[in-house]
């Protein structure tokens, strides 16, 4: 059983992979700070974790699509004197459709959540990990990070940022006692597709997708083992490898074909 020196802070904890990761930490007796927009969902999850796993579970409602929410989260943790040893930047969302006709406000919020808030939280909590010479960071990227994605152009680009940022940061933190893991799941059974309006895409329609729990179990183990890039599923791993070898023009056309709605 793991013996934590501090808390695990998980963003996007109220559903999907974030909720499943929260359960992983609780099952290993690691206390958690749960972050999401929905207070009701957070309260229900915190109650479940406390009752089933007998761990401390605190909640903080935050909308990471708004500026400076990361600073509010840091202030909460400092006020409550909560040392964060495990940082999980899981919050994120996508949008489906051509960039030129997309909702620009939703696009801006996607960049804020997927890139800005993730970067801020990493920068804000990293110094205390460095001071303690121990800590683990998980950035939830995606298999979308490995290639451009027509019809989800901004989302794919944000995940490429997450992957590259994570790999570079991991290198900077060598021999510090801190590891960085970029978790790269493929399409997963969650409410992501509904939010992104891509339920009829060839990528997901009629497909048997892995569950959030399966992805979270894999990601948790990868994080604890200090794996830098963790691609869930053999097919996803082979696909991520193959696109690095294929001509870029072919890759873009293939992604466009897969993304088209049926």
- Residues belonging to the active site: 155
Separation in Å, CA 203 to CA 41, 177, 193, 255: 29, 39, 10, 9
CB 182, CB 227: distance < 8 Å? no
End-to-end CA separation in angstroms for the chain: 47
SS3 46: helix
Give the Cα separation of 82 and 80 in Å (integer). 5
> At CB < 8 A and 24+ separation, what contacts does 237-243 make?
239/143, 239/146, 239/186, 240/143, 240/146, 240/184, 243/146, 243/147
Separation in Å, CA 247 to CA 13, 89, 227, 234, 242: 38, 32, 28, 22, 10
Which residues have a Cβ under 8 Å from the Cβ of 223 and sit 6 or more positions away?
86, 88, 136, 138, 179, 181, 183, 230
Give the Cα separation of 229 and 166 in Å (integer). 8
């Amino acid at each position: 059983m793991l013996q934590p020196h501090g808390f695990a802070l998980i963003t996007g904890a109220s559903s999907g992979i974030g909720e499943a990761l929260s359960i992983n930490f609780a099952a290993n007796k690691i206390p958690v700070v749960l972050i999401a927009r929905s207070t009701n969902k957070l309260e229900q999850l915190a109650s479940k974790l406390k009752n089933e796993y007998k761990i401390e579970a605190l909640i903080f409602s935050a909308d990471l699509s708004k500026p400076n929410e990361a600073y509010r989260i840091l202030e909460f943790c400092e006020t409550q004197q909560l040392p964060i040893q495990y940082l999980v930047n899981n919050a994120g969302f996508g949008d489906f459709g051509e960039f030129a006709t997309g909702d620009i406000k939703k696009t801006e919020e996607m960049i804020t959540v997927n890139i800005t808030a993730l970067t801020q939280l990493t920068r804000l909590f990293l110094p205390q990990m460095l001071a303690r010479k121990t800590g683990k960071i998980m950035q939830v990227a995606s298999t979308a990070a490995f290639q451009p994605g027509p019809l989800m152009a901004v989302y794919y680009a944000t995940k490429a940022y997450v992957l590259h940022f994570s790999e570079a940061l991991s290198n900077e933190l060598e021999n510090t006692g801190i590891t960085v893991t970029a978790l790269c799941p493929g399409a997963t059974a969650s409410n992501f597709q509904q939010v992104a309006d891509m339920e009829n895409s060839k990528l997901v329609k009629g497909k048997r997708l892995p569950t959030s729990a399966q992805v979270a179990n894999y990601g948790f183990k990868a994080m604890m083992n200090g794996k830098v890039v963790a691609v869930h599923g053999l097919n996803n791993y082979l696909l991520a490898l193959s696109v690095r070898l294929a001509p870029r023009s072919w890759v873009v056309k293939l992604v466009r074909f897969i993304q088209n709605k049926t």
